[in-house]
Structure formats: structure tokens, C-alpha cells
Amino acid sequence: MATYFVGDIQGCFDDLQHLLQQASFDPDQDQLWLTGDLVARGPKSLETLRFVKQLGSGAVTVLGNHDLHLLAIDAGLAKLNPKDKTQAIFAAEDKDELLLWLRQQPLLAYHEAFNIIMVHAGISPQWSQQQAKLYAEEVNMQLRGDDYQTLLAHMYGTHPDYWQDELQGFDRLRFIINAFTRMRFCAPDGQLEFHNKHSPAENDNAQHIPWYEVAGPHLDGAHVIFGHWAALEGNCGHENATTLDTGCVWGSSLTMLRWEDKAVFSVPCPVHAI
């Protein structure tokens, strides 16, 4: 049995299949961990959802910002981005089953045997890893409940952008969602920055620091695996963090890591995003 971690798929189903073939992935024995954003800009988001769901316990995925946006569109709370290619999902006979399954997925997954935390974007530098697990579950409980649409209606926005333990209600849940699914740069004190999507090498603002380089307890303990930030090109340079989004949907590559021997697999991808 092998455990594989793969970066953002974003509907690039064929590229995922090529990658799994390259690694000789065995769905009957191996396990696939996905960093979220299963859907969006690639051509086969529906096929991607169906494939990951049918793997059952052989797959572990966390929710990314595009996955949450898909749920909000289905609830009539957001509009389809013209760049997204998810229309087939809404016309599918199994749409309700697929989206119910998606809504049950966590913001944070923990691999106990390997002491690995997987998230989509990152962990707030103001949190310990234990706090991150608890805060993720706060959102997951709301999202899995009957009133999940109210959460989706209030999740959009960039404020508050600084964590305080006293945060309550949807302000609290919105910050948690943004940290786990949208974060890239932070201020030195951990304040979230939402607009800078460059790589750290291209960043010219001294007040914008990659979240994993901000001083804090967030990377003490478990190794953290994340996606979301394609501009990092699969390299964050931190000994206790690994990033796997290598921009498949933008015509770069799809990357997968086999944890047991740290073997890296990669396939070049055609340009899917407009």
C-alpha cells in the first residue's frame, strides 16, 4: 500500500489519470490524498468529482475555494464564473449525490500514521495546529448541517482579516474559511492579504510574507501539505511544509508525491484555463 498526495486538479481529469498511470496507482490498495479544488477551470470537473467519490475510503480530499464556490452556485447564492467549466455538474443526474458528498469533505485532514496535516491553502500563523483542527471542525459542522446554505451565503468577503479568539458568528467562520482556502501572503502579525498572487520571488512588498514564513506555532508538529498557490511551482522551501499545486490548469504540470519514499511524479498539462 502506498499513499499519494496530489495538487489541485481543477477538473483536469485526463491529466490526473495519466499521472496515476505513471505512478502505477492501485485503487484497491493505495490511497490518494487531494489538496482540494477538485473542480473549476479544467474541462472535466464532473468526471473528477465522480472519480474521487467512487474511490471511497481510498481517497481523502479537503475543500478548496473553488469547491465551496461550486456549492454556493448550486444553492443559488453565487454566479458561475465564466472561466469555470462546471456546467456539466449542474445538468448531471447524480448532481445532488455528488454535491452532498462534496459538502461532507473537511477543510483539514490529518494522517495520523505519518503525522501529516493536509489543507488547501494554509494554516493561519496565529493558530497552533491543534487550534487549526478545532476551527476547521467548527466550519465542517455548519457545512454538513441542514442550514449549510446560510453559511455559504455569509462566507464571501475579506473581513475580518485578523484572527481574534473573541470572533463570533459568521465573522469567525469567514476568517476560518479564508485562512484554509484563500490565504497566500500575510502581514508579519498574521493579518491575511488577499490580492497578491505572485510568487515570493516576484513580491516587492516587504509587508507581504508567505504564510508559512510568518513566525508562529502553525508549523510546529505535523508536516503540512497544501496546494492553492500555483506560483510557488511546487517549492515553498520550508522544512515542515510541502506544496503541490504546480499549475496544471494553466498549462504547467500536475504533481504527485508518494510519501513512503518521497518519489515525485509529474505530467505536463495542456492549457485548460482561459
Q: What is the pLDDT of residue 270?
A: 86
Cell reading at 231: 506560483
pLDDT band for position 272 (cuts 50, 70, 90)? confident
Kindly tell me the sign of the dihedral angle through the C-alpha atoms of 163, 169, 175, 181. positive
> Is a pLDDT exceeding 90 seen at residue 271?
no
> Is a pLDDT exceeding 90 seen at residue 113?
yes
Quick one: average pLDDT of 222-230? 98
- Do 210 and 185 meet the contact criterion of CB atoms below 8 Å apart? yes
State the Cα–Cα distance between residues 10 and 79, nearest whole angstrom: 18
- Residue 252 class from Cβ within 10 Å (0-12 exposed, 13-18 middle, 19+ buried)? middle
> Is a pLDDT exceeding 70 seen at residue 229?
yes
pLDDT band for position 89 (cuts 50, 70, 90)? very high
Max CA pair span of the chain: 50
Residue 269: which residues within 8 A CB-CB, separation 6 or more? 12, 15, 248, 249, 251, 252, 253, 254
- Do 120 and 180 meet the contact criterion of CB atoms below 8 Å apart? yes
Closest among 110, 132, 64 to 223, alpha carbons compared: 110
Q: What is the pLDDT of residue 274?
A: 60
Q: What is the pLDDT of residue 90?
A: 97
Give per-residue pLDDT as tens, 192-219.
999 999 999 999 998 999 999 999 999 9
Residue 183: which residues within 8 A CB-CB, separation 6 or more? 121, 122, 124, 192, 211, 228
Quick one: average pLDDT of 120-134? 98
Give per-residue pLDDT as tens, 165-180.
999 999 999 999 999 9
Give per-residue pLDDT as tens, 26-54.
999 999 999 999 999 999 999 999 999 99
Percent of the chain whose predicted confidence (pLDDT) is above 70 = 99
Please tell me the CATH superfamily of domain 3-268, with its number: Metallo-dependent phosphatases (3.60.21.10)
State the Cα–Cα distance between residues 241 and 191, nearest whole angstrom: 20
**C-alpha 233 chain-centroid distance:** 15
The mean of the pLDDT values for the chain is 96
Quick one: average pLDDT of 108-116? 98
